[in-house]
Amino acid sequence: MTAVATASTNSSVRSRADLGGPRAWPLLGNVPQLTGGREHLVLEEWADKYGDVYRFSVGRQPFIAVADPDMARSMLRLRPDGLKRAMRHELFEGIGLQGVFSAEGDEWRRQRKLVMPAFKPSQLRAAVPSFAPITERLVRVLDAAAASGESVDALDLMKRYTVDITTQLVFGIDLNTLEKIDNTLQASIHIIFEGAGARVRAPYPYWRYIKLPADYRLEQAIAHVREVVLKIIETTRAKLAGDPEAEPQNLLEAMLTDTESGEKPMSNDEMRGNLITLLLAGEDTTSNTLTWVLHYMCAQPEMQRKMQEEADRVLPNSEQIQDFDEVVRLQYCEAVIQEALRRRSAAPFMFLQALKDLEVDGLRVDKGTYLALLNRRIAMKETAFGEPERYWAERWLEDERPAGCPHNSKSQLAFGGGPRICPGRGLALLEARMALAAICKRFTLSTAPGSGPVEEVYAFAMHPKGVHITVRRR
């Protein structure tokens, strides 16, 4: 059944009251269970116990959790008119994300049109040569680690790499955080992510009334990033005014010179909000995915060997990607990344809210109801992917996947789905492939001696904790 805007009288249609779920505490609901960075794991455990559609509550706010692939995809198609993102708007405004990420309805449509030209394939293709020096810098850092024998904090390294790539692509600026560890912009981005995660988990917006030391640090970091981004916008506007016929060299210039959308140009606040969103998303989600890939490369030497062989074939005479066509040829590397996105998505769930009464695949959703779409749990369904617990890159290669093995790529929701699928997914896959090709061409990785277990921790996104590697030159 497809989603409709009116509730059905069919007795087979379920409502929230018909669903099972964990027992809730008075006033607190299920908040006591949803703490400690394990929120996504608890929600998934409840799906195992209560089924693919169940109820829970955060304080006195009722939720419906959905881990049914077909129902989740139907819901995503209802955005932005039937469902909206269910997070406090003041949270987005407070951390400077009042752009296409937080916009809804017609305002989202307008901003989406203005942002998309910056992510055209031609823009990404043109950016590859500017990424090469940053990737070479990543190789130098790993080369030094190989020479010294010191272990590498994989997540920290990948965050610095992705910040450098993102600022180069978005602003045309080389921050070089890979070699300048104390870069203030990267440090501020880290503080914003930590603070945003804490505020998302808070049962109410206490910071309106009292501020803790962490809130003051967050506000200082936000002010710093806003100041830096606004200054870059003003400098870029002045540059373009002096040469209006110049071709855009980065995403900011592409957004400022848009002539295709036919929409009213963005204000400085909208432009700043969207650029801050790109900085945060480009740094955190891609670095998390890359770190998980490095972890699995260490755990699966045969997979690492196949990645190295592919890098040797695609780059027979160079150490790293120099041309977009080489990126396209990294098909096994792409499969490894897709499997990391399926198995360890940085967005393991998504909160939405119904804007009107809906019926979605036999579930009645009243206006105002909150929903939790369990993206990672959906990608772990046996009906969607065969042997779902197994990290197996070959499942993404049709020639290597056994006949009859379930494989529904639409159930991999790491970038969302429907009309509001993430516009930056092409960029994320591009920079991940460039980094991995350079690493595989030059090095062999292994888990650092004495490393403890690798854990999943949820903040504003889900990230790995404890991935430490050693590097050996091939």
The residues spanned by each domain of the chain are: 1-89+347-379, 98-345+419-474
So what's the pLDDT on residue 7? 37
Q: 449-460: per-residue pLDDT in tens?
A: 989 899 998 877
Rounded Cα distance between 64 and 351, Å, is: 10
Of the chain, the percentage scoring pLDDT greater than 90 comes to 50
CATH topology of domain 98-345+419-474: Cytochrome p450 (1.10.630)
Maximum C-alpha span of the chain: 70
So what's the pLDDT on residue 473? 96
Q: 60-89: per-residue pLDDT in tens?
A: 889 999 999 999 999 999 999 999 988 655
**Would you say residue 331 has pLDDT above 60?**
yes
Rounded Cα distance between 335 and 29, Å, is: 40
Rounded Cα distance between 300 and 316, Å, is: 24
Band of pLDDT at residue 116, cut at 50, 70 and 90: confident
Strands of 282-408 (E only): list them.
350-354, 358-360, 363-365, 370-373
Of the candidates 471, 404, 401, 421, the residue with the CA atom closest to the CA atom of residue 441: 471
Alpha helices, DSSP H, located in 204-330: 213-242, 251-256, 268-299, 301-314, 324-328
- Asked if 445 and 298 touch (Cβ cutoff 8 Å), the reply is yes
So what's the pLDDT on residue 300? 97
Of the candidates 474, 383, 162, the residue with the CA atom closest to the CA atom of residue 293: 162
Lowest mean pLDDT among 5-9, 163-167, 394-398: 5-9
Bigger pLDDT: 82 vs 179: 82
Q: Which residues pair with 473 in a beta bridge?
A: 443
Bigger pLDDT: 154 vs 237: 154
Q: 184-232: per-residue pLDDT in tens?
A: 877 887 788 778 777 776 767 788 888 899 889 988 988 888 888 888 8
So what's the pLDDT on residue 93? 58
So what's the pLDDT on residue 87? 64
- Asked if 420 and 411 touch (Cβ cutoff 8 Å), the reply is no
**Would you say residue 59 has pLDDT above 70?**
yes
CB burial of 126-144 (b: ≥16 within 10 Å; e: otherwise) equals: bbbeebbebbebbbebbee
So what's the pLDDT on residue 284? 78
User: Which residue has 């460039």 as its token pair?
Assistant: 434
Q: What is the pTM of this model?
A: 0.88
**Would you say residue 138 has pLDDT above 60?**
yes
CB burial of 15-29 (b: ≥16 within 10 Å; e: otherwise) equals: ebeebebbebeeeeb
Q: 258-282: per-residue pLDDT in tens?
A: 666 667 777 777 788 788 777 777 7
Instruction: Extract the tokens encoding 93.
Output: 């405004």
- What's the whole-number mean pLDDT along residues 151-162? 93
Lowest mean pLDDT among 107-111, 192-196, 197-201, 252-256: 197-201
Please work out, in degrees rounded to the nearest 5, the angle formed at the alpha carbon of residue 182 by the alpha carbons of 176 and 184. Answer: 85
Lowest mean pLDDT among 20-24, 89-93, 231-235, 318-322: 89-93
Of the candidates 217, 211, 227, 171, the residue with the CA atom closest to the CA atom of residue 192: 217
Which residue type is seen at 378?
A: I
Class of domain 1-89+347-379: alpha beta
So what's the pLDDT on residue 191? 85
Please work out, in degrees rounded to the nearest 5, the angle formed at the alpha carbon of residue 265 by the alpha carbons of 262 and 270. Answer: 135
So what's the pLDDT on residue 97? 59
Rounded Cα distance between 95 and 135, Å, is: 30
**Would you say residue 131 has pLDDT above 80?**
yes
Rounded Cα distance between 30 and 35, Å, is: 10
Rounded Cα distance between 164 and 141, Å, is: 14
Query: Using CB atoms within 10 A of its CB, is residue 212 exposed (0-12), middle (13-18) or buried (19+)?
Result: exposed
Residue 203 CB contacts under 8 Å (≥ 6 apart), including other chains: 28, 31, 58, 59
So what's the pLDDT on residue 240? 85
What's the chain's average pLDDT?
A: 87
Bigger pLDDT: 386 vs 180: 386
So what's the pLDDT on residue 11? 52
So what's the pLDDT on residue 167? 85
- What's the whole-number mean pLDDT along residues 43-68? 94
So what's the pLDDT on residue 2? 40
- What's the whole-number mean pLDDT along residues 341-361? 94
Band of pLDDT at residue 8, cut at 50, 70 and 90: very low
Rounded Cα distance between 400 and 406, Å, is: 13
